[in-house]
């Protein structure tokens, strides 16, 4: 089964609030975005956020230029149906981030909650990093959440790559500076505790 089919099946078989990564409110994401200090007219992209409530929350907060990319059309459709007319204020991209052409130096902030940690291949993570470097404006921000080093080693039947602040900083490379990093516990709809790492990085104004 390929990656696209796998995630389509996940979202076809479960409601958006039944998946293990569901949050009633994306508090940590909003905190990181606010911490960046970007304006309400900044361009934000949410990677793997097809069924997340983050776009709704950001619209309420006054952010105007939102893009959501997800590999699962079912995930995107669930959010569009839930948001109704408000979904038209968001640009939706159905695709694999590793293969999708994104605008160059366009986004002020790249948000990723539990997407990168599914990239267990070193080569895939290199491609992902190159996508971030190409798409962020110089001085832009990366708000990223992964399983912490003491978090689960798998999710939805797939192996994941766990990170500490040190290993994630090393993975991203010298062009990114850590603004803030902290661990927190996420409680799944089934009541299980998962240890997450949430970090905000800033891209250098000039980089390799």
Q: What is the model's pTM?
A: 0.88
Q: Is domain 3-13+27-203 in CATH 3.10.20.310, yes or no? A: no
Q: What are phi and psi of 140, to 5 degrees?
A: -75, 175
Query: Rounded to an integer, what distance in angstroms lies between the CA atom of residue 67 and that of residue 143?
Result: 14
Every domain of the chain and the residues it spans: 3-13+27-203
Q: What is the pLDDT of residues 114-163, one digit of tens each?
A: 889 889 999 999 999 999 999 999 999 999 999 888 776 766 677 788 99
Is the separation of the CB atoms in 27 and 93 below 8 Å? no
Decide which of 75 and 134 is more confident: 134
Mean pLDDT of 79-97: 95
Of 18 and 41, which is predicted with more confidence?
A: 41
């Amino acid at each position: 089964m390929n990656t696209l089919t796998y995630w389509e099946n996940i979202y076809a078989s479960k409601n958006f609030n039944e998946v293990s990564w569901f949050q009633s409110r994306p508090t940590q994401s909003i905190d990181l975005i606010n911490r960046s200090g970007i304006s309400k007219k900044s361009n934000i992209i949410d990677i793997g956020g097809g069924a997340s409530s983050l776009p709704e929350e950001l619209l309420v907060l006054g952010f105007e230029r939102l893009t959501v990319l997800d590999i699962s059309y079912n995930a995107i459709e669930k959010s569009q149906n839930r948001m109704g007319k408000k979904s038209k204020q968001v640009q939706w991209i159905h695709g694999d981030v590793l293969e999708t052409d994104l605008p160059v130096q366009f986004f002020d902030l790249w948000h990723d909650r539990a997407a990168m940690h599914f990239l267990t291949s070193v080569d895939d993570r290199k491609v992902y990093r190159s996508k971030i470097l190409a798409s962020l404006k110089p001085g832009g921000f990366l708000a990223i959440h992964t399983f912490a080093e003491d978090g689960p080693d798998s999710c939805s039947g797939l192996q994941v790559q766990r990170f500490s602040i040190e290993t994630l900083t090393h993975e991203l490379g010298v062009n990114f500076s850590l603004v803030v990093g902290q661990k927190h516990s996420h409680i799944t709809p089934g009541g299980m505790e998962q240890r997450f790492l949430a970090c905000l990085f800033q891209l250098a104004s000039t980089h390799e």
